[in-house]
Amino acid sequence: MTHYVTTAIPYVNAAPHLGHALEGVLADVLARHWRQVGHEVRFLSGTDDYAITNVLAAEAAGLPIDEFVSAQAAQFESLGKALRLSLDDYIKTSSDPRHRPGVERLWLAVQDADDLYRREYVGLYCVRCEAFYEPDHLDGVLCPDHLLPVEEVAEENWFFRLSRYEQRLLKAIESGELRIEPEQRRNEVLGFIRSGLRDISVSRSVERAHGWGIGVPDDPDQVVYVWFDALGNYITTLGYGSGDPAYQRWWLNSDRRVHVIGKGILRFHAVYWPAFLLSAGEPLPTDILVHDYVRADGHPMSKTRGNTVDPIGLVDRYGVDAVRWWCAAKVRNVGETDFTEDGVVAAANRDLAGGIGNLVARIIGLTADTANRAGLGAFNEPISAARSKCSHAIERLDLRAAAHEIRELLANINRHLEHHRPWAQETDPAVVETAASATGVVVDLLAAIVPEVALSAQPRLDGRTVGPVYQRIE
């Protein structure tokens, strides 16, 4: 089976924060898990360069926009490397040669469907969201996500006939053709669509965009709206419209087309993007997996609030697996999660050093020969259950549930050893060998989440090599 996994591509108006790291880790665990079970996977991430908010940040920094964007995008790419994301592709929308022609082809396909028209418009606009809001969607006069005042914008734009796709979108989501997880987010999307869809602006004036963006074909006064442009990256990177066989393999014929996103951009991915694809006559994504926010100082972490945490600094201080494990084991699937550095340290010391690390050390201390391990014996049923539950949890993007199943299996192995006490008396060698085999399964389940821990643990189990699997953080 072929699976195409993507993260959202963030604006580069400021340095990456822990929320970006969380999304990268979640998507990476999904990609690694599917590779482990034998699927072919393509994993994509990148940066969203053509945004007015990027232009404003560059002007504030006193730098040319292309220079500013290039430097900022490099930080996001470095984050992926620091987190050991197993990426197959990475796009920077302002410099990738595949992107502009793909966006232009998508625009023309939508235009050919008679879904674009030009008209004057006055609306309430949040520059941080790069989106217009209806008054009843605001928090007073503030954007509900950024809590910044919206501004009234009046100009002539190109509009997309979103209203034409209301029933088709409902059918896709209600039937499961387009799966949205968790259910709470699915219900939010259905509620938004059922409230009535209005046509949306999909271009901005060159003047307001400060000349930064992809020009609307045959209209020198307008640039393509950043969300039309940015969402297109999922197919432009595959050579959409160019005859590249990658598009055939990973979009047209892929078994799964999965977007991993934060809840703040759900409407763009679950309503606008599928509607653009329907208009262009292209297949929809199969899955939209939505994660919640990480909180710091009592508020959702955001560049606007200034309460961000540097994830590369966290990796430097505590190691990549401590950060990855916190993202998996502590972050709730629904509901915001409070971040503290003490929480990162505590989870790593308890589960990685004191959990799998301690168990591997016990096994190594009990026997020097595992060449003829026994089968899994009494562990067959709990291991089968743990594998199934972990797989289903990861595919729902509920890594906290997957981590719980791994901890339960690890505790089961420790109870097995405590019951038979092979260190205190002569016992059937199969007791230790069975525990060793089951511990190997734990390591296998951990491999998608904390790959360096797994790479350290497996050789020690196989060859009885003495040494710590994971060093406790002091």
Going from N- to C-terminal start, the domains of the chain cover 2-296, 319-463
User: How confident is the model at residue 124, as a pLDDT?
Assistant: 72
Task: Spell 133-158 as b/e; 16+ CB within 10 A means b.
Answer: beeeeeeeeebebbeeebeebebebb
Those residues with Cβ within 8 angstroms of residue 140's Cβ, 6 or more apart along the chain or in another chain: none
% the chain with pLDDT above 70: 89
Q: What is the pLDDT of residue 145?
A: 62
350 alpha carbon, distance to own chain's centre: 26
Taking the C-alpha atoms of residue 177 and residue 442, their distance in angstroms, rounded to an integer, is 34
Phi, psi angles (nearest 5°) of residue 220: -70, -10
| Average pLDDT score over the chain | 90
For residues 218-231, average pLDDT: 95
Given CA atoms 176, 181, 184, 189 in this order, what sign does their dihedral have?
A: negative
Give me 80's structure tokens: 């992926």
Question: Which top CATH class is 319-463?
Answer: mainly alpha
Instruction: Give the per-residue pLDDT at 331.
Output: 93
Residue 304 banded pLDDT, cuts 50, 70, 90: low
Q: Do domains 2-296 and 319-463 have the same CATH topology?
A: no
pLDDT score, position 268: 96
Amino acid at position 163, single letter: S
Mean pLDDT for 303-323 is 88
What pTM did the predictor assign?
A: 0.91
Q: Which residue has the tokens 């990973």?
A: 250
Mark 15-47 as b/e (b = at least 16 C-beta within 10 Å): ebbbbbbbbbbbbbbbbbbbbeeeeebbbbbbb
Listed in sequence order, the residues at least 6 apart from 467 whose beta carbon sits closer than 8 Å to its beta carbon are 460
Q: Which residues pair with 5 in a beta bridge?
A: 43, 258
Nearest to 85 by CA among 347, 449, 329: 449
**pLDDT band at 466, cuts 50/70/90?**
low
Residue 254 has pLDDT above 60, yes or no: yes
Q: How confident is the model at residue 372 (pLDDT cuts 50, 70, 90)?
A: very low
- pLDDT tier, 369 (very low <50, low <70, confident <90, very high otherwise): very low
State the pLDDT at residue 437: 86
Q: What residues contact residue 269 under an 8 Å CB cut-off, 6+ apart? A: 8, 231, 259, 261, 285, 288
For the segment 110-116, the average pLDDT, to the nearest whole number, is: 98
CATH code given to domain 2-296: 3.40.50.620
* pLDDT at position 371: 39
Residue with tokens 């793909």: 102
Identity of the amino acid at 125: Y
Cα 446 from Cα 267, distance rounded (Å)? 33
Residue (of 301, 273, 62, 244) closest to 165 by Cα position: 273
pLDDT at 301 over 60: yes
Pairing assessment for the beta strands 337-338 and 294-296 based on DSSP bridges: parallel
Q: Between the ranges 76-90, 332-346, 378-392, 455-469, where is the mean pLDDT highest? A: 76-90
Q: What is the pLDDT of residue 127?
A: 64
